[in-house]
Amino acid sequence: MKNMSNRMTIKQAAIELGISTKTLRRWEKSGYLVPERQDVTGVRLYHPYLINYWKKLFDLRRAIINHLRSLDGIKKAIDKHTSDQNNTSGQPPKLLTVADLDDFMKASESEEKWNRTYHRMLRELREYPSVMRKATTKFEEDK
């Protein structure tokens, strides 16, 4: 019998992913994330490399959601400044203040930092299948 001690139970996988076991069962039923194998007792067992891959996907998804939220704040600041400039009162447009410029610079720096992180995460995800294949091969050879 193969050594399954390096496999994760559904509870361990759920904790690692930060989701419920109920969600994992639902994903299994839909074919979304099927356990690698179930032992003779019916216990679901997940390969840790697969769970790690899903965790990376979740991290990327969270990063994208957070970035979109920060972009929304930047957009609101730009829209506010633009609406201030579109007055029809005959008054000259308002000039950008130092605080406005600071906000735009911080937003620009934040976006650049996020883009670097985003591209690093995408690169890791793109490379992950080959890393996982190598690790799984080594795992199988070590048995």
Q: Calculate Rg over the CA atoms of the chain.
A: 24
Q: Does residue 5 sit in helix, strand or coil?
A: coil
Please give the CATH topology (third level) of the domain spanning 1-46: Multidrug-efflux Transporter Regulator; Chain: A; Domain 2 (1.10.1660)
Task: Name residue 79's amino acid.
Answer: D
Q: Which residues pair with 44 in a beta bridge?
A: 38
- Kindly list the domain boundaries of the chain, sorted by start residue: 1-46, 49-143
In this predicted structure, the answer to whether residue 4 has a pLDDT above a threshold of 70 is no
In this predicted structure, the answer to whether residue 130 has a pLDDT above a threshold of 90 is no
Q: What is the pLDDT of residues 76-120, one digit of tens each?
A: 766 666 665 555 566 666 677 788 778 778 777 877 887 887 788
Q: What is the pLDDT of residues 26-69, one digit of tens each?
A: 999 998 888 877 767 888 899 888 888 888 888 888 877 877 77
Task: Name residue 20's amino acid.
Answer: S
State how far the Cα of 62 lies from the Cα of 74, in Å rounded to an integer. 19
Please state the pTM of the whole predicted model. Answer: 0.56
- Give the residue ranges of DSSP H helices in the chain: 10-17, 21-30, 48-85, 98-141
